[in-house]
Structure 1
């Protein structure tokens, strides 16, 4: 393997956006890819005809596992000197109102979407600082700039990721290390099928007389519809990620879809009181909520 090539470590690379990023970068010979996924998901690489080669390594990584994080990064540093580009893509979503997320479920959401990427950043930074160069790409969401009902804890995890990433941008800039938040909105994919409901939120959705039943019913239908209608695809967002990798001085935030740009403009220019009223009045099925 050529040590002069840039190394790119991708978490959650076996499906969704991570897989699209992987397939795009595999076409380019100037990078060495280190693809990671949970042990139980590694077979997906073979299903997608992705195998190890001179420019590609596949490693098991549960992002919440301290030893696995350390082992993967140490191997890259030993072989290549540094992780040149870290793409924190692994994550998941709970669909649940605040009342329906237990303490353990809250911790799990924050552990995977916030603490794990921060810890992976922490172990990759020493070699980046030594090289005085690097790029950290954190896959965030429109949910990291605006919170929506039934997605509270997911938004909390992405808000935390955004806040820490913004602070990190200032902290590591002296070493020529760039930090970028990629903020997709609705993506045309079947990822809505992978959104997890907690036991409490699932019971509420199934019970038409439950207090939050219509919250779940209308929000889930709305999100599914918007994703199916969205012109944005994982492949298009992967191209934006490649553009970030190639950029000399990428911005801190990249709105990865048109709706993400639209919501950012709303949040920026509308008076806050009107902004919240406007969104509330336009929530799907709002007239049925609370009945």
Structure 2
């Protein structure tokens, strides 16, 4: 490994680095000779690095990290601190998507979704903060999602985890800025990649997707087609979003939120400028195949409840 980096070399810790956006980020970061990389992935995913031509060397560490495992989180950060003096940039990219509906979601599924997308990134952020605070410098970049702006059917657990990450990271932004530490949330929308195929579907929800008689079958069927169509239509790629993350990291004064794709920007402005009751009504009416989702209950007009009286 050598004796560590030169004083000018910044230390970047990247999670979820073996696939998709994380892999694209790793490749971009490796081009910078002044960057010391600590690339992490679940132990079972470490062989993917070699498959993509990434091997360990003086400037590149490959480490096993289950973002939900406190022991592994501490081990990675402690090793980086002992060898390099601390982490200069943390990019929390590791994530997971559960597909389910509220009625079928299990406590275990909810717990795991929150552990990967919210609790793990925030816990890892907390571990790198003391050294950053001592140096009065540091960057934390949370890879969030347009799912942290709006919740869609069958994606409730995922959006809940991203909403939580958004809120906690915004609070952290205010807390650590006086110490010279910058926190940014990068929000991509749909990315042209096969990542949707890796979504986790619980057993009850899986049966619903296969049984046309299940009351939630139309929800899954229509949303599956919609998401697949949007991902195929998407202009953004892992490489383009990785470039956006890198530009955010390089900015002297990065913003709190970076909308990384056109659809994320559209959702942001849609939510910001359209009155909330109309926003909710339009979103409902635009859901694919909504008229086949169990009848017309709840199909109220903007600004009213199902009885037709003004909503409160």
TM-score under structure 1 length normalisation = 0.99
Aligned to 2:23: 19
Residue segments in structure 2 that go unaligned for 5+ positions in a row = 296-312
**Aligned equivalents of 1:243, 1:170: Cα separation in 2:** 21
Asked if 2 retains the 8 angstrom alpha-carbon contact of 1:3 and 1:80, the reply is: no
1:221 corresponds to 2:212 = no
Aligned to 1:165: 169
C-alpha deviations, 1:80-100, integer Å up to 9, x for none?
A: 111000001111001111111
Aligned to 2:252: 248
1:142 corresponds to 2:146 = yes
Number of aligned residue pairs: give it: 291
1:186 corresponds to 2:186 = no
1:8 corresponds to 2:12 = yes
1:204 match: secondary structure: helix
CA RMSD of aligned residues (A): 0.8
1:138 match: secondary structure: strand
Aligned to 1:112: 116
**Aligned equivalents of 1:289, 1:157: Cα separation in 2:** 25
Q: Which structure carries more helix by proportion? A: 1
Aligned to 2:266: 262
2:103 match: secondary structure: helix
Residue segments in structure 1 that go unaligned for 5+ positions in a row = none
Shift, 1:2, TM fit: 1.9
Of 287, 291, 299, the match for 1:287:
291
Of 79, 86, 109, the match for 1:82:
86
Runs of at least 4 residues off by over 3 Å: none
1:31 corresponds to 2:40 = no
Aligned to 1:278: 282
**Aligned equivalents of 1:204, 1:104: Cα separation in 2:** 18
**Aligned equivalents of 1:54, 1:129: Cα separation in 2:** 26
C-alpha deviations, 1:116-170, integer Å up to 9, x for none?
A: 1111011111111011100000010000011111100110000000000000000
Q: What pairs up with 1:111-130 in 2 under 5 angstroms?
A: 111-130=115-134
Larger Rg: 2
1:68 corresponds to 2:63 = no
Shift, 1:3, TM fit: 3.5
**Aligned equivalents of 1:57, 1:3: Cα separation in 2:** 16
Of 42, 49, 52, the match for 2:46:
42
**Aligned equivalents of 2:89, 2:271: Cα separation in 1:** 31
1:175 corresponds to 2:185 = no
1:59 corresponds to 2:63 = yes
**Aligned equivalents of 1:114, 1:68: Cα separation in 2:** 17
Please identify, of 41-50 and 22-31, the stretch whose mean Cα deviation from structure 2 is larger. Answer: 22-31
1:99 match: secondary structure: coil
TM-score under structure 2 length normalisation = 0.92
Asked if 2 retains the 8 angstrom alpha-carbon contact of 1:82 and 1:131, the reply is: no
Aligned to 2:305: none
**Aligned equivalents of 2:209, 2:86: Cα separation in 1:** 47
Shift, 1:218, TM fit: 0.4
